[in-house]
Amino acid sequence: MSSTKPLLVVLGATGNQGGSVVAHFLSLSSSPYALRAVTRDPSSAKAIALASQGVEVVAGDFDDPNSLDAAFRGASVIFSMTDFAQSMMNQSLLEKAATSAVSPGLYIRDYEAQQNRNIIDAASKVRTLERFIYSSLPYADRLSEGKYARVYYYDSKASAEEYGKSTYPELWEKTSIFYAGFYLENYIWGTKDLYFCPKWNKGKDSLIAWGMEPLTTFNWPWYSVVQDTGPLVAALIRAAPGKKLIGVNEWLSMKDISKLIAQILGKDIEFVDSGPNFNQGDPDFQRSRREMVGFSMEFGYYGDKVDTTVLKPSELGVSVQLSPVKEWIEKQDWEKVLPAE
Ligand SMILES: NC(=O)c1ccc[n+]([C@@H]2O[C@H](COP(=O)([O-])OP(=O)(O)OC[C@H]3O[C@@H](n4cnc5c(N)ncnc54)[C@H](OP(=O)(O)O)[C@@H]3O)[C@@H](O)[C@H]2O)c1
């Protein structure tokens, strides 16, 4: 049955950011939007689950501009995202990178930037469009004047953002930018070794956490990508266009989070000062991770020491209700999640 409601088209709807946007609007007693999810595979279990909840599911691929034109047809709002991490683990892309003149990280950066330009080109053609929400990150290379030129997963999004702004001024008048904060879920998904995640010190029935100062005492912008992206993006849609929002729930250090986990488990925790593990396979990606940390410490996670245009949720002028980070931490099964030393 066709809906008379304006249409919200969500990229990455089977993933974390886009999935949270869809879940938020589905959770409302009366969603202001009809929802369309874009996926490469409408027959996947996640896509079928969305369709069973009344979401229109269509095929679309960031690498295929024609498919994006079709997926965006009739949209009032588009939520756009791209995924650096999947590309970074894609063997066929890494093989192409190996035969190219540039490093794997640069290759994937440029690949993701092209995907974003494809999305922006397609969005610029949608006559019905009222709002384009672009999930970006700060332009580390530009903001640091070349000092941090290898924060690949930031610049892949930011360079395309610059492209959109200069190529399509009309589209940019209807655009709002979302910078995702650090996912709390990094603690419970595969990257936990990277984030000062505590480990079980089984012999002592206590926790132990390694980390290097000041990485572990620096306040990062944490948010739950699953719970919080939807409410934050919904608020950004309600606010006037032209705003940039940092998706943050609370600013906490990794030490703060480890202490909260220990407190919830009722265990002691020992902190050991040592080098962080940036093991991302290729040394080029490890260096990129180190540069991201360096950029964040010197210029702010979202470049806020030099770019004062990025707003915190409390500065958006539209109310956003997020559950406290402590509640998110309390809900996780840390007994199972934390690895043994
Ligand atoms: N981890 C963090 O702390 C953090 C913080 C800030 C920003 N980020 C950024 O967040 C992004 C990842 O977002 P996420 O966590 O929402 O990703 P995710 O859960 O891995 O989901 C990726 C989504 O992208 C879709 N997708 C991937 N390639 C596609 C293509 N070629 N065409 C169409 N759809 C495609 C997938 O859909 P189908 O598979 O169904 O096609 C899926 O829905 C990364 O770029 C990363 O840089 C991460």
Query: Is 156 part of a structural domain of the chain?
Result: yes
Specify the ligand 1 atom closest to the Cα of 225: 15
* Angle of the 104-124 helix axis to the 152-167 helix axis, nearest 10: 30
* Angle of the 16-27 helix axis to the 225-238 helix axis, nearest 10: 70
- Chain segment 286-328, per-residue pLDDT in tens: 889 889 999 999 999 999 999 999 999 999 999 999 999 999 9
In this prediction the pTM is 0.96
Q: Is the pLDDT reported for residue 162 higher than 90? A: yes
Rounded to whole angstroms, the Cα distance separating 59 from 38 reads 6
Give the model's pLDDT for residue 277. 60
Query: Is 234 part of a structural domain of the chain?
Result: yes
Query: Is 23 part of a structural domain of the chain?
Result: yes
To the nearest whole percent, how much of the chain has pLDDT over 70?
A: 96
Query: Looking at the 3D structure of the chain, how many domains does it have?
Result: 1
Q: Is the pLDDT reported for residue 138 higher than 60? A: yes
Q: Is the pLDDT reported for residue 2 higher than 80? A: no
Ligand 1: which residue has its CA nearest to atom 13?
83
Query: Is 340 part of a structural domain of the chain?
Result: no
Query: Is 2 part of a structural domain of the chain?
Result: no
Q: What is the DSSP string of 154-185?
A: HHHHHHHHHHHHHH-HHHHHTEEEEEE-EEGG
Give the model's pLDDT for residue 335. 87
**Distance from Cα 15 to the centre of ligand 1, integer Å:** 6
Q: Is the pLDDT reported for residue 280 higher than 80? A: no
Query: Is 341 part of a structural domain of the chain?
Result: no
3-class DSSP state for residue 322? coil
Collect all residues with Cβ–Cβ distance below 8 Å to 2 and sequence separation of at least 6.
none
Mean pLDDT of 46-55: 98
Can you tell me which residue has the tokens 């009739």? Answer: 74
Q: Is the pLDDT reported for residue 256 higher than 70? A: yes
Query: Is 128 part of a structural domain of the chain?
Result: yes
**Distance from Cα 8 to the centre of ligand 1, integer Å:** 18
Specify the ligand 1 atom closest to the Cα of 180: 6
Contact between 329 and 263 (Cβ < 8 Å): no
Q: Which domain holds residue 139?
A: 7-183+222-249+284-322
Give the model's pLDDT for residue 193. 61
Specify the ligand 1 atom closest to the Cα of 17: 16
Query: Is 32 part of a structural domain of the chain?
Result: yes
Mean pLDDT of 157-186: 97
What CATH number should be reported for the domain holding residue 114? 3.40.50.720
Averaged pLDDT of the chain? 93
Ligand 1: which residue has its CA nearest to atom 1?
183
Ligand 1: which residue has its CA nearest to atom 19?
15
